[in-house]
Structure 1
Amino acid sequence: MNQKKLHVLFICGWYPSRVLPTNGDFIERHAQAVAKQHKVSVIHLITDKKIKKDIELSTKVINEIETHIAYLKEVKNPIKKIYLFHKAFSLLLKKVSVFDIVHLNELFPFGIFSLYLKWFKKKPFIISEHWTAYKHPLSNKISFIQKTISKIIAKNASFICPVSNDLASSMQSLDLKGNYKRVPNVVNTNLFFPDHKKNEIFTITHVSNMNDKHKNVKGLLHVIAKLEVENIDFKFNIIGKNSIKYLKYANKLGLDSKKIKFMNQIPHTEIAKELRNSNLFVLFSNYENLPCVILESFSCGLPVISTNVGGISEYFPDNFGKLIIKNDEEKLKEEILNFYNKKNNVATKDEMHTYVKSLFSEQAIANNFTNLYYKTLSI
Structure 2
Amino acid sequence: MKTKLNILFLASWFPSKKNIFDGDFVERHAKAVALYHKVTVIYVVGLDNISDVKREEEEIDGLKITRIYFLSKNKLANQWTKFRLYLKEINKYKRFDLIHVNVTYPVGLIALYFKLKNRIPYVITEHWTGYLPQDPSKISFTKSFLTKQIVKNASYLLPVSESLGNAINHLGYNCKTKTIRNVVDFKVFNFNNVESNSVFKFLHISNLTFQKNCEGILKVANRLWNEGFNFELHLGGNGDLKPFQEYKASSIFADNLCVFGSLSQQEVAEKMNQANAFILFSRFENQPCVQIESFACGLPVLASDVGGIKEVFPIGFGRVIESENEEELYSEMKNFLENKIELKSKSEIHQFAKDNFSMKKIADDFEEIYNEVLE
Into which bin does the TM-score normalised by the smaller protein fall?
A: over 0.9
Matched, 1:314 2:311: yes
Question: Which SS does the other structure have where 1:187 is aligned?
Answer: coil
Q: Which shifted more, 141-150 or 188-197?
A: 188-197
- 2 CA distance for matches of 1:263 and 1:59? 32
CA-CA distance at 1:271 after TM superposition: 0.3
Determine the structure 2 residue equivalent to 1:190: 187
- 1 CA distance for matches of 2:215 and 2:371? 47
Cα distance 1:240–1:66, how it changes in 2: closer, same or farther (>3 A)? same
Matched, 1:108 2:105: yes
2:326 aligned partner, one-letter code? E
Cα distance 1:243–1:347, how it changes in 2: closer, same or farther (>3 A)? farther
Matched, 1:305 2:302: yes
Matched, 1:204 2:208: no
* Structure 1 residue ranges, 4+ long, deviating more than 4 angstroms after superposition: none
Equivalent residues in 2 for 1:134-213, closer than 5 Å: 134-138=131-135, 141-194=138-191, 195-211=193-209, 213=210
- C-alpha root-mean-square deviation of aligned residues, in Å? 1.7
CA contact (8 A) 1:308 1:324 kept: yes
CA contact (8 A) 1:70 1:92 kept: no
1:104 aligned partner, one-letter code? V
Deviations 1:223-259 (A, max 9, x none): 1111211322211111212453123552487351111
Question: Which SS does the other structure have where 1:318 is aligned?
Answer: coil
Determine the structure 2 residue equivalent to 1:28: 27
1:295 aligned partner, one-letter code? I
Equivalent residues in 2 for 1:88-103, closer than 5 Å: 88-103=85-100
**Unpaired segments of 5 or more residues in structure 2?**
none
Question: Which SS does the other structure have where 1:58 is aligned?
Answer: strand
Cα distance 1:48–1:159, how it changes in 2: closer, same or farther (>3 A)? same
Determine the structure 2 residue equivalent to 1:133: 130
1:338 aligned partner, one-letter code? N
CA contact (8 A) 1:69 1:92 kept: no
- 2 CA distance for matches of 1:4 and 1:286? 43
Matched, 1:217 2:218: no
Equivalent residues in 2 for 1:59-74, closer than 5 Å: 59-74=57-72
- 2 CA distance for matches of 1:113 and 1:40? 17
- 1 CA distance for matches of 2:312 and 2:252? 33
CA contact (8 A) 1:158 1:179 kept: yes
Determine the structure 1 residue equivalent to 2:349: 352
CA contact (8 A) 1:41 1:96 kept: no
Determine the structure 2 residue equivalent to 1:6: 5
- 1 CA distance for matches of 2:184 and 2:107? 25
Matched, 1:277 2:258: no
Matched, 1:75 2:70: no
- 2 CA distance for matches of 1:284 and 1:139? 17
- 2 CA distance for matches of 1:254 and 1:81? 45
CA contact (8 A) 1:297 1:304 kept: yes
Determine the structure 2 residue equivalent to 1:369: 366
1:339 aligned partner, one-letter code? F
- 2 CA distance for matches of 1:3 and 1:327? 47
Percent of pairs identical after alignment?
A: 33
CA-CA distance at 1:331 after TM superposition: 1.4
- 1 CA distance for matches of 2:259 and 2:361? 34
How many corresponding residue pairs?
Answer: 374
- 2 CA distance for matches of 1:367 and 1:373? 10
How does the TM-score come out when normalised to structure 1? Answer: 0.95
Deviations 1:56-103 (A, max 9, x none): 22222133211111112111272x333311221122213445321110
- 2 CA distance for matches of 1:52 and 1:196? 48
Question: Which SS does the other structure have where 1:57 is aligned?
Answer: strand
